[in-house]
Structure 1
Amino acid sequence: MSLTVAGCGPEGVRTASDAPAGKDVLVTEGAGRPDGAGARRAAEVAKAWAGSAAERAWREGYRPLDQAEWLPPDAFRSGEDKAAFASGHLDLATQLPASGPDGPEGTVTWPDGSSAKRPLLSARQVFDGIVRNKSACQGADCNGRLRVTGVKAATRTLATSRGRATLPVWEFTIEGYAQPFAYPAVAPDQPPRSDRPAPRIDGVSSAGGWNGLSSDGLVLNVGVSHGSCVKALPGQVYETKDVVVLIGRVGQLPKGTMCNADLRVTPVQFRLSRPLGTRTVLDAVTGDPMVLMTPGAVAR
């Protein structure tokens, strides 16, 4: 794949000149600072976020960032195990604890001493959510199941939108794994949402929840939504020291291509100029913050 690379200052947009042939995932590489409406919108979003009520709510709430931290080091032994986990194919072979360690509420605590009280989720609520709310399995590895042989209350630390925090979890022992899988015992705050309608920008589409971050912190895996009459193009990234604004791009299909009104989501990789760190990820269209959506999606 031939890529055009240019200089990039402390704030700017990175984009690829083309997508990898025959791949389902579009990859952002190279650097540049295109003028387009998407870049202008991203700059507006970044400016509006700084010092806003939404930013304060984001910084003050509890929102986990890297859900792959819940996985044990040896996950997963096989593609079949990974598919079973992602699809919620778990069999309960133990009794679930009746209550957690903190009573009706759980406490999330940050190193600076600040804390937040959140309703405590029971082990039953968490297990039922895992089984019910996972995506349907597809492909050759869909016949496996995982056996849960033990569940206990514990505490863990993980990355959140306001730094690392300690919080209560439920640890699920799964047969064949030396260390348990952890699930938070408190629900996160919902991300702040704009009450203004998202603008319509030609060639730009909304980036949905991101479901993976590379181990070096430089590549975000994101689903870009679009109609079936257009195709997803390599994304663009507007970066500042505090935020990363993702610009999902779409282009017209060749004339004569059959299409309908179906909504599609195409996985796109957005490459950053420096590791994400604690910067907030924003969608250029909605202006809303984004969080990791799927446990275990981080590339290793």
Structure 2
Amino acid sequence: MMRRVLPWITVAALLGGCGSAGNSPAVDPLDGLRQQAGGALTRYDQAVRAAGGAPFVPVGELTRQLGDWEPANGSYKESLSAGSVEAASTLPGAPQPAVGTIVWANGTRHDVPLTSADGALAQLRAAGTGDCSGCTPLKLTGARLTTMTVPTTRGPATAPAWEYTLDGSAVRLARVAVDPSAIVRVTSPKDADHPHEGLAIESATTTTAGSELTVTFTGAPGPVSKPCGADYGAEAVESDLAVVVIVIEYRHAKDEACPDIGAQRSTTVELSQPLGERAVLEVTQGLPVELTING
């Protein structure tokens, strides 16, 4: 079921100039974003079902670099970004039984299937850009099973991870060791039917029992009372599994010539009910954002 919650701030300020002098009704400029949000909720729900309802929804990259590259190994950064990584020796298989546990900050635990060090390496390669013409592949000399902290849609979690050692460097690489079948990964649409409009939120904060959701994003440096400034409101489009936040911008004036300078801004939206275990998605591509739960 999908529910729409309107913000306390009216969107009337955005409607000036819409419509015509005739009897044509005014067009709500948010309608396109609401449809975009509905599509994002549908894709997210499908991704959760494809993963068997798995609650593990990581945010961002699943590979970490531990340590800084030595001056002589400056090109290794490009190799890692491209996914140009090879095993120089036999890597460990998944432990038996191949089960690990994800632990959230509130103590919630969830058992997940694990992948081998080779399997995690294959995922690391696939996540690379592949654009590394002439660069030297990184050589892995070993791996051990450990843990790493991962941002998720339910706050930070400690997840099983493979930690790799490298030939010729003290830097180590870590990659989440959870089998891909237990990870909810949302892909954004790339076709022309999805214009990726709107302001993308970057993070969200809420409380355990509260229904207010505060989101951060990059916006105008100053308030609407100043030239090139803006104030912000928000609207939430909700489903049983996720919430998409639409940021509404109220600019100082239309068609101002403003410098390309942004600042971190925030706004708060009231949900129809506490967020619970639902994910928070940004509206431009429908991707989950990092969540902080206070109290």
Counterpart for residue 40 of structure 1: 31
* Contact 1:169 1:182 (C-alpha < 8 Å) held by counterparts: yes
Alpha-carbon distance between aligned partners in 1 of 2:63 and 2:169, rounded to the nearest angstrom: 16
Which TM-score applies when normalising by structure 1? 0.51
Counterpart for residue 123 of structure 1: 117
* SS at 2:150 equivalent: strand
Q: Where does structure 2 lack aligned partners over 5 or more consecutive residues? A: 1-6, 19-26, 204-215, 220-231, 237-242, 249-260, 269-277, 291-295
Among 195, 201, 214, the alignment partner of 1:205 is 195
Structure 1 residue 154: deviation in Å?
A: 0.3
* SS at 1:130 equivalent: helix
Which residue identity is paired with 1:156? M
Q: Where does structure 1 lack aligned partners over 5 or more consecutive residues? A: 1-8, 14-31, 221-236, 248-268, 293-300
Within 5 A, what are the aligned runs for 1:1-300? Answer: 39-43=30-34, 54=45, 61-67=55-61, 70-74=64-68, 80-100=75-95, 103-131=97-125, 134-137=128-131, 142-187=134-179, 188-191=182-185, 205-206=195-196, 218=217, 239=234, 243-245=244-246, 273-274=265-266, 280-283=280-283, 288-290=286-288
Structure 1 residue 243: deviation in Å?
A: 4.6
Change (3 A) 1:135 1:170: same
Structure 1 residue 96: deviation in Å?
A: 0.7
Counterpart for residue 29 of structure 1: none
Percent identical pairs in the alignment equals: 20
Aligned residues: 209
* Contact 2:233 2:267 (C-alpha < 8 Å) held by counterparts: no
* Contact 1:93 1:149 (C-alpha < 8 Å) held by counterparts: yes
Which residue identity is paired with 1:121? T
Over the aligned positions, Cα root-mean-square deviation in angstroms equals: 5.1
Q: Between Structure 1 and Structure 2, whose CA radius of gyration is higher?
A: 2
Which residue identity is paired with 2:176? P
Structure 1 residue 150: deviation in Å?
A: 1.9
* Contact 1:121 1:185 (C-alpha < 8 Å) held by counterparts: yes
* Contact 1:97 1:151 (C-alpha < 8 Å) held by counterparts: yes
* Contact 2:54 2:183 (C-alpha < 8 Å) held by counterparts: no
Change (3 A) 1:290 1:76: farther
* Contact 1:41 1:284 (C-alpha < 8 Å) held by counterparts: no
Q: What CA deviation, in whole Å up to 9, does each residue of 1:130-149 have, x standing for no partner?
A: 3455332157xx42221212
Change (3 A) 1:240 1:246: closer
* SS at 1:124 equivalent: helix
Counterpart for residue 23 of structure 2: none
Alpha-carbon distance between aligned partners in 1 of 2:88 and 2:279, rounded to the nearest angstrom: 41
Change (3 A) 1:201 1:157: closer
* Contact 2:62 2:175 (C-alpha < 8 Å) held by counterparts: no
* Contact 1:69 1:158 (C-alpha < 8 Å) held by counterparts: no
Structure 1 residue 191: deviation in Å?
A: 4.9
Alpha-carbon distance between aligned partners in 2 of 1:270 and 1:205, rounded to the nearest angstrom: 22
